């Protein structure tokens, strides 16, 4: 080899080394990292004959990463909703949950209505997000229709727009007498019951406020029994939940905020007919014939009352459970879950017995981690 050829080879080595260094240099941004990783996975999938949908998900992930980074560089916040699910004009936000928002609007310019909008989840593939949203909307609507067939009051459905993730339904307004059970219990706790306690303290100066308001105290029991309308509400809640469960409907989010009460007249009465009850928000509802699921539904309601109204939760929950058991006992249940011919154990008794087990361990049957 000549000296000239040797010098040419020696001069080419640094250049090759620079090319290798540039190829091995770490990416400067998270966007470049995502692109490199996705391209590597894509090549592996194509070599192994991977599915096209997996490649599309990877591409969407890279695009979403770039979208987020672009907005972060500009200092803007990304929008959680696509163009078709943004808040329309003329609507007022009423409530927001983990899966959607509820707006107050008008239907056909003639009556008030509420629109429940399930917003898009950016971390999901668009096709998967559309399918899940459509499925969950259909499930919620079916549960509402099934409950109405059982004679249980739910908001009247006006329209369903699965492509936009919207459910249009009746607005149970306060001006028409509808209030949440949570609101009514708060009123009793801070108004009626407080007035009763103040009058008792004035009559008996020796008794302390703690002795009167203690959970399970004689004064508390007397105050609750005196308010017959409150106990009638508890009985109505237990009876209606039993009707829901006899129809194999598990609400899934049975809290005092999702139970609406309408008082038909203003007189104090212990008759259930003086009140009307409606269930709302069937977004987590399912069909089940298991006593375990029914017991968990009751447990969620119990915990909701205990957490917000601990002062009289024990007595109120006891009345709900007694009414629940009585409703099952008096029902003409021709299903497989009716009482055995040679046994006095009713379906309601089995649910209450399962509820005791749920109370001991919590709502989760399998505890991992």
The whole-number average pLDDT for the span 139-166 is 94
Whole-angstrom distance, CA of residue 357 vs CA of residue 351:
10
The pairing of beta strand 111-118 with beta strand 157-161: unpaired
Whole-angstrom distance, CA of residue 172 vs CA of residue 152:
15
The whole-number average pLDDT for the span 118-130 is 90
Confidence of residue 113 (pLDDT cuts 50, 70, 90): very high
Q: For 299-309, what is each residue's pLDDT tens digit? A: 999 999 999 88
Classify each residue of 341-365 as buried b or exposed e, where b means 16 or more C-beta atoms within 10 Å of its C-beta.
eeeeebbbbbbbebbeebeeeeeee
Whole-angstrom distance, CA of residue 63 vs CA of residue 50:
20
Active site residues: 253
Give the Cα-Cα-Cα angle 212, 217, 222 (nearest 5 degrees).
85
The whole-number average pLDDT for the span 96-107 is 88
The whole-number average pLDDT for the span 52-79 is 45
Radius of gyration (Cα) for the chain, nearest Å?
A: 30
Calculate what percentage of the chain has a pLDDT beyond 70: 58
Q: For 259-293, what is each residue's pLDDT tens digit? A: 999 987 655 545 555 889 999 999 999 999 999 99
φ, ψ (nearest 5 deg) of residue 3:
-70, -35
State the residue for tokens 């000296």. Answer: 3
Instruction: Count how many Cα atoms sit within 13 Å of the Cα of residue 174 in the half-sphere of its side chain.
Output: 7
Confidence of residue 333 (pLDDT cuts 50, 70, 90): low
Both tokens of 168, joined, read 């249009």
pTM for the model stands at 0.68
């Amino acid at each position: 080899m000549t000296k000239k050829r040797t010098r040419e080879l020696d001069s080419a080595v640094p250049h090759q080394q620079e090319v290798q260094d540039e190829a091995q240099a770490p990416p400067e941004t998270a966007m470049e990292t995502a692109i490199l990783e996705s391209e590597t996975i894509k090549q592996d999938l194509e070599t192994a004959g991977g599915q096209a949908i997996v490649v599309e998900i990877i591409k969407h992930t890279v695009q979403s990463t770039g979208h987020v980074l672009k907005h972060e560089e500009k200092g803007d916040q990304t929008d959680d909703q696509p163009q078709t699910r943004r808040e329309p004009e003329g609507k007022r936000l009423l409530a927001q949950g983990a899966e959607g928002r509820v707006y107050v609007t008008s239907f056909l310019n003639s009556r008030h209505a509420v629109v429940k909008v399930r917003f898009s989840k950016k971390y999901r593939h668009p096709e998967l997000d559309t399918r899940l949203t459509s499925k969950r909307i259909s499930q919620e609507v079916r549960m509402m229709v099934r409950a109405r067939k059982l004679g249980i009051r739910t908001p009247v459905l006006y329209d369903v727009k699965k492509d936009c993730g919207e459910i249009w339904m009746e607005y149970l307004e306060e001006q028409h007498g509808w209030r949440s059970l949570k609101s009514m219990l708060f009123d009793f706790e801070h108004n009626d019951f407080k007035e009763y306690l103040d009058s008792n303290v004035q009559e008996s100066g020796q008794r302390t406020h703690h002795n009167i308001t203690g959970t399970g105290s004689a004064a508390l029991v007397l105050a609750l029994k005196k308010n017959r309308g409150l106990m009638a509400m508890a009985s109505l809640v237990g009876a209606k939940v039993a009707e829901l469960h006899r129809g194999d409907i598990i609400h899934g989010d049975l809290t005092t905020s999702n139970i609406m009460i309408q008082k038909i007249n203003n007189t104090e009465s212990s008759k259930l007919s003086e009140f009307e009850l409606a269930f709302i928000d069937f977004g987590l509802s399912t069909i089940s014939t298991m006593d375990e699921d029914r017991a968990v539904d009751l447990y969620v309601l119990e915990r909701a009352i205990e957490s917000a109204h601990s002062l009289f939760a024990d007595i109120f929950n006891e009345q709900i459970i007694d009414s629940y058991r009585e409703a099952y006992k008096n029902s003409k249940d021709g299903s497989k879950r009716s009482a055995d011919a040679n046994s006095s154990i009713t379906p309601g008794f089995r649910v209450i017995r399962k509820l005791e087990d749920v109370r001991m361990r919590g709502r989760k049957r399998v505890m991992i981690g």
